[in-house]
Structure 1
Amino acid sequence: MAEHIVSILDITPVTHNVKRFTLQKPAGYAFAPGQATDVAINLPDWKDQLRPFTFTALNEWDTLEFTIKIYDDHPGVTHQLGLLKPGDSLILHDVWGAIQYQGEGVFIAGGAGITPFIAIFRQLHKEGKVGNNKLIFSNKTRADIILETEFRAMLGKNFINTLTDEAFPGYDHHYVDEVYLRDKVKNYRQHFYICGPDAMVAGLQPIIRKLGGESVIVEL
């Protein structure tokens, strides 16, 4: 398994608990939108603590980017990532599958599960191929929505936000369940991409198939 030690060039906040990490890009390092790699922090006590993160940059960019939710409720890897500064370094490994675009459809994301879809939509937008793709994004509150402005610019009315723990004008207030999908999706003869908490991904697959969906794509 190849290892690449890369310096952190910049760290910027995206939401109250999500940060964007901009990194050096190793020569010849390539990936497709939606793919991921295993990442470790280049410190003695953390080198063996690998965690999967999805690339949110495009392959053609000169730098790499990860958009990472920081969990400060326990002293784990993301908490430690949140303590890093530009000039610190990470260890990247081989690129692997995750979730890749197979054609127009409905994307359903829960919280930080949006990350594989960031590069996919950025690539589609760059190529002028966003088309009729729809993104249903579920979060607890408005403050949790990652890249809301960018997604709204790319998708317009096909960017649908629902909040589970907060009622706010202009946003749906509902869990993504069978009732909600019946209301929001009329055509099930298209691709469905799902990424989010395990329980959400597992629960939605049989619902979509019950409603007539045949192509359900999840992270590998």
Structure 2
Amino acid sequence: MNVKMLGQVPYEPTFQAMQAFTEARTPDTPDELWVCEHPPVFTQGLAGKPEHVLLNPPGPAQIPVVQTNRGGQVTYHGPGQIVAYPLLDLRRLGYFVKEYVYRLEEAIIRTLMHVNVTGHRVAGAPGIYVRVADPFAHEALREPADPRDPFKGLGKVAALGIKVSNHCTYHGLSLNVGMDLSPFLRINPCGYAGLATVDLASLGVHVAPAELAEVLSHHLQQRLAP
């Protein structure tokens, strides 16, 4: 696949470019992986509910809200967060959407291992989570600490939001490295009220986003191969 490290780029033109690339591709179009950061923006998925944006008053501090055609609810993108957009032909690669999501999550887990952080899946809630109190513990997450609160003790460090059109993917994933987390307090992240959102810096791991972007790119190329 062709890998493009885009640096910091505005969200809406990037979304439009992904959509145009996917609509124009043919069975012979090489797959691509776009890796970037975005200026502050809230993005809503197809099923996104306006009430999940809790606080975004007019004025200089207002963050744009962009309606998209990806799955999922509202999330936040901003500097210090790695965003990766795999533009793939799943039919040519030979696997389906459920396995695609698993492979995306596995690439994130492997990337976190690079900085000794253990990432976990939570059933029914795509993305990757960490034990906030001990993000370096290797013990598997076997069941929720509290069945009434599947996220108790956990923080979300990476989010997924994908779109598949005619077997071809766009949108993708975000991994929080070292960013201003306060905008997440203005929303119900991914539609979950009170869900804690963390980045690696808040876990005590300080790494340059550009360094980790290279690691993530490597693991995505490996895990998304046929």
State TM-score, norm by structure 2. Answer: 0.26
Where is the strand percentage greater, Structure 1 or Structure 2?
1
**Higher RCO (Cα < 8 Å, 6 or more apart):** 2
| Larger-gyration structure (1/2) | 1
